[in-house]
Structure 1
Amino acid sequence: MPSQALSPKAEGMAGQPLVTVVMCVYNAGEYLRPSLLSVIDQTYKKLDILIIDDGSTDGCFDTVQDLLIDERIRVIHQANSGKPMAINRALDQIRGEYYAIQDADDISHPTRIERQLRALLNKPHLAAVFCGNELIIDGTSMAPVFSPKSEDHCRSENRAFRMPALDPTGMFRMSLVGHMRFEPSLQVAETYDYILRIGEQHPMIVLGECLYAYRILPNSLTRRAPTWRKQFEFEAFRRACERRGLRFDQQCDDKGPRSRNSLMDNNIAAHFINSVLDSCRSNRRLSALRTAWQCARLHPTDPYYYKALAYALMPPSLTSRLRRDFLAIPLETTK
C-alpha cells in the first residue's frame, strides 16, 4: 500500500481523518497548561481535544481558560470517579476515527499525532501504534527510548504479559477497539489490562521515535503505596491468565527487582537501562553514559541504579547482544 503523506503544517485538513485526543484531568496543577499546549500545537491540526475534568479542586483549569477558546476543545466536568471511569466517559464521547491518550501532566512532541496517524493509515489492520518516550524529572527531560517494535515483537510482548511501550503513548483505531472499555475495578493497572486485551485480538506496533515526554511526579501514588499498586497489577495479570486459559500463579508475576527503591518508584531504572541500550545500539555512547549517570544519581547508594552504567560501559558487541535479549518491563504509569 502506498504511503499516505500528511502535510506537517497543514491548517485545513480536508479529507484527512479526525483524531480525538483524550485527556483525563485530576488536579494537574501547573502542568496542565504546557500539556494542553503540546496538543494544541501538534503539526496535525484536525483534532478533537476531549478533556474530562475528574473533579479537580486545585484550580488548574483557571490556568488554561484562554486556551479553551480553541474550537477543537471540549471539556466535560464530573465528580471525581477515578481514571478508569473518566476515560470510559471519554470513550463514549469520541468523535474521531482514531484516538490518542494524553496524560494531563505530560508533553507530546509536535509531530506525535502526525507520525502515529501516518502509521495507522499505511497499515489499516493495526489496532494501535505506540512510540518511544523520554522522562521529565525535576523539570529536566532525560532517558529517551526509541527502539521500534514490529507486529511480531509486540505480539511476543503480549504473550509475555508485557505492554509493548508506555501506555499513554498509544494511538488507537476506533473501528477495531471502539467497543472496548477500561475495567473500573482496576484503580491502577487499568491501561495495562486494556492494552493486553487489545493485543490479544489485534496487531500493534511501536514507532522507532521518541515522541512523548512522561513526567515523574514526586507525590506519585505508586511511590506512596507500592503494595496497594501491586494488588491491582496482580488482578490484571490474573484476568489475563483467565482469558488465556492459563493457571494464575501470583509468584510468576512477581518478577520485579528486589531493590526497595525500585519498588517505590515503579522500577524506573528499567526505563533508564532501555534508554542506555537504545543509545548504544545507535552508537550514541556519550548519550548512553549521560543517561546512566542520571540513573545512578536517583539513588546513589543503591547498586541497582548502577546497572545502567554497567551497560553503558560494556563493549558495543556485548551491548548489542544484550539489546536483543534484555527484557525490561516498561514503566507503569499511575501518577
Structure 2
Amino acid sequence: MMTAPLITVIMPVYNSVQYVETAIKSVLAQTYSHLELLIIDDGSNDGTREIINQQQQIDDRIHLICLENQGSGVARNEGLRRANGEYIAFIDADDYYDQNFLLQGMRLAEQGYDCIVYNYKRFNDQQETLYYVEPTPLKSYSAVWNKLYRKECWDNLLFPQNMKIEDFEVVPIAVGSAKKIGFISDTFYYYRIHQTSITHQTDINEAREAVKACQLLFANMKKKTISFPQDDLATYINSFLYSHLYTCMSRLSTKDEKKAAFEIIATYSKTLNKQVFNSPKTLVAPSKLKQLRNDLITTLFSAGCFNLGLRLVDLMAKLFGKKGVK
C-alpha cells in the first residue's frame, strides 16, 4: 500500500501569543494527517514559544525552529530549506485552516495538479468577507497562504529578506512554475484582520519597497524564465502600485512625505508603463472607470492636492462599489 505524500506546512511566528494556538490546532486537526508543521519562531518574547512547546509535547508532527528576529521572509525561507514534504503549504500565525484545507487540495494534487489555489475569507469580530480568486499566476492573489504547492514550484526561489512586502514578487513565480494549476472554490483559509494588520505604521520606505518589489518580480521572472500575459502583468503591477500609493497618501503625516512618496512611485510607474507596457499613463488600469480614477488622482497628487485626491477615490468607491481590491 502506497504511503500518502507528506505535506510540509510552514508557519512563521512572531509574538502571536493571542492567536498561535488556534493556528496550530487548525493544522493538527486536518483530515489529511500525513503532515509536518514547521514553526519558525522569529524571536518571540511574549509567551508564544511556551504555547508552541506545549503543543509540541502533544503532537510530534510539530518541529520548532528558533531564529533571531529577522522577519517572516527569512523565516519562510528557513521553512522551505528544511521542508521534507512533497507538497508545501503556508499559514500565518494569526489565521487558521478549515479542517479539510489539505485534503481538498490533495484530491486535486492526485489528479496531477502542481499548485492548487483556494478562495479565502477575511474575518474579524464583526464579519466575514469571501474573496474570489482565479487559477492563474497573477489572479490567484499575491498571498502565499491560499495555495498548496508541489515542492518543485519553489526550486531556486526565495522570499526577499528585510522587506515587509514579500509575497508579491515571489508567489506568481511559484504558481507560474506549476505545469497544471487547480482551483477550489470553497473557502478553506481564514485570514484574520486585526488592528496591527490594518493600521501598521507607514513611512516613506513603503514607497521605496513597492518599487523594489516590482523590480524583484521582473528579476525572478528572468531567473526562472517565466513570462505572463502582458495585460495581466500590467494590471497586477499597476494595481499593486496604486494600492501602495493610496496607502502612502492616506497614512503619511506631512505634505513633504506624501510628495516624496508620490515622486518615487509615479516616476517608476510612468517609466515602466511606457517602456514595458507601451502606455503613456502613469498608472494603467483594466477598465475605463478605474483609468479615469487613476488619471484624476495622479494629476491631483502631482499638483500637491493629496486630500482632494483621496476624497475623490473614496467618493468613486462609494458611487461605483469597491470590487476586489486584491
Give runs of aligned pairs for residues 131-142 of structure 1, distance below 5 A: 131-137=118-124, 139-142=125-128
Counterpart contact for 2:116–2:183, Cα < 8 Å: yes
Could you tell me which residue of structure 2 aligns to residue 149 of structure 1?
134
Distance 1:181 1:308, change over 3 A: same
Contact 1:133 1:166 (8 Å CA) reproduced: no
* Correspondence for 1:113 among 102, 107, 127: 102
Aligned partner of residue 113 in structure 1, secondary structure? helix
Code of the residue aligned with 1:74 in structure 2: it is H
* SS at structure 1 position matched to 2:99: coil
The residue correspondences of 1:74-223 to structure 2 (distance < 5 A) are 74-124=63-113, 126=114, 128-137=115-124, 139-145=125-131, 147=132, 149-150=134-135, 154-155=136-137, 157=138, 163-164=140-141, 166-185=143-162, 187-203=163-179, 204-220=181-197, 223=200
The CA deviation string for residues 254-312 of structure 1, in whole angstroms up to 9 with x for no partner, is 33397669955xxxxxxxxxxxxxxxxxxxxxxxxxxxxxxxxxxxx998399479659
Q: How does 1:1-335 map to 2 (within 5 A)?
A: 15-69=3-57, 70-124=59-113, 126=114, 128-137=115-124, 139-145=125-131, 147=132, 149-150=134-135, 154-155=136-137, 157=138, 163-164=140-141, 166-185=143-162, 187-203=163-179, 204-220=181-197, 223-225=200-202, 227-242=204-219, 252=238, 254-256=241-243, 304=314, 307=317, 311=321, 328-330=324-326
- In 2, distance between residues paired with 1:243 and 1:166? 16
Q: Does the 8 A contact of 2:210 with 2:244 survive in 1? A: no
CA positional deviation for 1:107: 0.9
C-alpha contact 1:149 1:205 (8 A) present in aligned 2: no
Contact 2:122/2:193 (8 A) holds in 1: yes
Q: CA deviation at 1:120?
A: 1.9
Say if 2:11 and 2:93, in contact at 8 Å, map to a contact too.
yes
Q: State the shift of 1:134 in Å.
A: 1.1
- Sequence identity, in percent? 21
**Distance change (3 Å), C-alpha of 1:257 and 1:102:** closer
Q: Distance in 2 between matches of 1:257 and 1:193?
A: 14
In structure 2, what is the Cα distance between the partners aligned to 1:18 and 1:305?
Answer: 50
Closer, same or farther: CA 166–184 of 1 in aligned 2, 3 Å: closer
* Cα distance between partner residues in 2 of 1:254 and 1:311: 20
Aligned to 2:287: none
Deviation at 1:132, TM superposition (A): 1.3
RMSD: 3.4
Q: Deviations over 1:132-177 (max 9, x none)?
A: 111122x3451012x4624xxx15x3xxxx6536431121111332
User: Alpha carbons of 1:47 and 1:219: their partners in 2 closer, same or farther (altered >3 Å)?
Assistant: same
Q: Which amino acid aligns with 1:304?
A: D
Counterpart of 1:8 in structure 2 is: none
1:254 aligns to what SS in structure 2? helix
Contact 2:134–2:140 (CA<8 Å) still a contact in 1?
no
Tell me the CA shift for residue 62 of structure 1.
2.3
> Computing the radius of gyration over CA atoms, which structure comes out larger, 1 or 2?
2
TM-score, normalising length: structure 2: 0.67
Q: For CA contacts below 8 A with separation 6 or more, give which structure has more relative contact order.
A: 1
Give the Cα separation in 1 of the matches to 2:210 and 2:61: 35
Q: 1:120 to 1:222 in 2, by over 3 A?
A: farther
- What is the count of residue pairs matched by the alignment? 253
Residue 86 of structure 1: SS of its match in structure 2?
helix
Look up the equivalent residue of 1:198 and give its one-letter code.
A
Tell whether the 8 Å contact from 1:134 to 1:141 is kept in structure 2 after alignment.
no
Tell me which amino acid in the other structure corresponds to 2:80: L
Give secondary structure in 2 for the equivalent of 1:57: coil
Which runs of no fewer than 5 residues in structure 2 stay unpaired? 223-229, 252-310
What per-residue deviation string (whole Å, max 9, x for no partner) do you get for residues 11-46 of structure 1?
Answer: xx9621111111111101210111111111111111
Q: Greater CA deviation, 112-121 or 166-175?
A: 166-175
SS of equivalent to 1:92: helix
The structure-2 alpha-carbon separation of the partners of 1:242 and 1:82, relative to structure 1 and needing over 3 Å to count, comes to closer
Q: Matched residues in 1 for 2:203 and 2:98: separation?
A: 30
